[in-house]
Amino acid sequence: MPEIIVVLLVIAILVVLALPQIISSRRLFRFSAMQRQVASSLVDARQKAMSQRTPITFRYNNFNKQIIYYGGSFGVFNDSKNRVIELSGAGVASSEIVYGRPSGAPASALSDSSNMTPLTSGVVDITFQSDGSVIDSGNNPTNNALFFYNQKYARESAFAISILGAGGRVKVWRYNRYITEYVE
Report the C-alpha gap between 176 and 184 in whole angstroms: 10
Fold topology of 2-183: minor pseudopilin epsh fold (3.55.40)
Question: How far apart (Å, rounded) are the C-alpha atoms in residues 145 and 151?
Answer: 19
Query: Model-level pTM?
Result: 0.82
C-beta pairs of 179-182 under 8 Å, 24+ apart in sequence: 180/104, 180/105, 180/106, 181/106, 182/105, 182/106, 182/110, 182/111, 182/158
Residues 6 or more apart from 30 whose CB is under 8 A from it? 90, 91, 92
In the chain, what are the domain boundaries?
Answer: 2-183
Give the pLDDT confidence of 56-73 residue by residue, as tens digits. Answer: 999 999 999 999 999 999
Report residue 54's pLDDT band, with 50, 70 and 90 as the boundaries.
very high
- How distant, in Å, are the alpha carbons of 18, 28, 90, 147 from that of 94? 27, 14, 11, 15
* pLDDT one-digit tens code per residue, 100-157: 999 888 899 999 999 999 999 999 999 999 999 998 878 889 999 999 998 888 888 8
pLDDT at 184: 87
pLDDT band at 159 (very low <50, low <70, confident <90, very high): very high
